[in-house]
Amino acid sequence: MPTPTSPVVIGVDSSTQSTKAAVTDAVTGRILAVGRAPHTVTGDGGARETDPEEWWQALREAVALALKESGTDASAVTGIAVAGQQHGLVTLDSAGRPLRPALLWNDTRSAPQAAALTEALGGPDAWLARSGSVPVASMTAAKWQWLREHEPATADAVAAVRLPHDFLTERLTGVGATDPGDASGTCWYSTATGTYDPGLLDLVGLDAALLPAVAASGAERVGSLSRAAAGALGLPQGIAVAAGTGDNMAAAVGLGLGAGGLLDHPVVSLGTSGTIFAATRTRPASAALAGFAATDGSYLPLACTLNCTLAVDKVAELLGLGREDAEPGGEAVLLPYLDGERTPDLPHASGLLTGLRHATTARQLLGAAYEGAVFTVLRALDELVAAGGLDPEEPGVRSRPLRLIGGGAQGRTWVETVRRLSGRPVLIPEAQELVALGAAALAAGAATDADPVAVATDWGTGRGRELPAVARDQAAWDRIESVLGEAGGWFARAGR
């Protein structure tokens, strides 16, 4: 517990499934307590939605629980910042109330709109040159197009368009603000110019006046905690509120990653989705990647898969096994694309199982699900490396450790599957709740005008245990790659 004079900041991680609030000692970076509150995700047939009011209520509950558990006097809190799930489309009326549930990042109904937008601008290269990313179903621009086509009355009534973290930041301050990192996931913000792109906004029929202002960074103080929000959260009115950022950008800050090269600190995050990213000074252009900005306006090229820990947990549930009741898949290949897939871009895909033998066991099937999910993430990592002009198979590349984060990093089978399929050393950071910790560093930056990456570095968040490389299971890699190659064409044809 901090002394009464020790400043405290709160970092909020508003993810797909829940909100976490980390009460953090601003001097040492020690997390004093984490409060948690769940969200409800609804929808089927590709739909994934949540009422944004649930996020606000969950934030209130999570902050209250964290303050209570830590025993922190609220008067010690000097700043707060929100990191949120990317891409979600939040539509508000003139009073700031949601007009409908938010369309979440993993809502795949907007796949046709993404394809149409790509063609309308002249193809992937045109999008890469301007936004840094090619539209896929996850991107906010595609979701806005879906809304315009399927619910035109709602689209016409919109007074403000926000991302999930923007919505919560505005509830804290009453000021509409976003940051370069999360804005770069919309496909109407240009990472080339660092501003909203008027031509892209015209393409999707969106008035720039409906969008929040873009702060210089996620650590910029965009306002002070309002009287209403202070009363709702039990915090002092007037404390610093940072612009905040997207969850992946916050995780990079939480790891203390400054802009460097693609090989400096490649990160593999295993959560609801699987993501790979690196903080860089250059902007690799590849249709296989999201060319995001980092929260400070440098670059965070990233690839994201839709199916990771939740998909494998579902397979375990179907087999009546625990998460760790797995062994290598043998001849079986299981692509756990239960929600379609984003990387590769197969929005109409489903789970695929092949290679069954009489000798195949339930444990091997679960192991095959792990392998399918990990292969998909590591294949995306190879795309990231190749986009930077490097050979993924070059020994100097393969010798660099992967930073492994997310819930999967705490699971033995996830870690060992990554080691076996990558053949690379793995570094598992000691710090927990890296998204919330990154948000806490942004809050500290807003409260003191310090560089949040330097803050996190001083906190020592990048320390961890390194596991040596093991021999790569090339046979398993080649087997899965062959099946995916054959299945990709079938999935694409089936979705037409």
- The DSSP bridge pattern shows strands 77-84 and 245-246 to be parallel
Query: Residue 247 catalytic?
Result: yes
Report yes or no: 46 and 22 within 8 Å, Cβ to Cβ. no
Residue (of 315, 329, 324, 328) closest to 357 by Cα position: 329
Yes or no: say if 334 and 307 are a contact pair by the CB < 8 Å rule. no
Rounded to the nearest 10 degrees, the angle between the axes of helix 140-150 and helix 111-121 is 110
Q: Are 2 and 8 in contact (CB under 8 A)?
A: yes
- Residue 427 host element (H or E): strand 426-429
Other Cβ atoms closer than 10 A to 183: 28
Residue 51 main-chain phi, psi, to 5 deg: -70, 120
The 8 Å CB, 24+ separation contacts for 380-383 are 380/274, 380/276, 380/288, 380/303, 380/304, 380/305, 380/343, 381/266, 381/268, 381/276, 381/303, 381/422, 383/286, 383/288, 383/289, 383/303, 383/343
CA distance 358 to 139: 43
Separation CA 266–CA 157 (nearest Å):
43
Q: How many CB atoms lie within 10 A of CB 488?
A: 16
Residue of 25, 179, 197, 247 with catalytic role? 247
Burial of 369 (0-12, 13-18, 19+ CB in 10 A): buried
Q: Which residues are catalytic?
A: 247
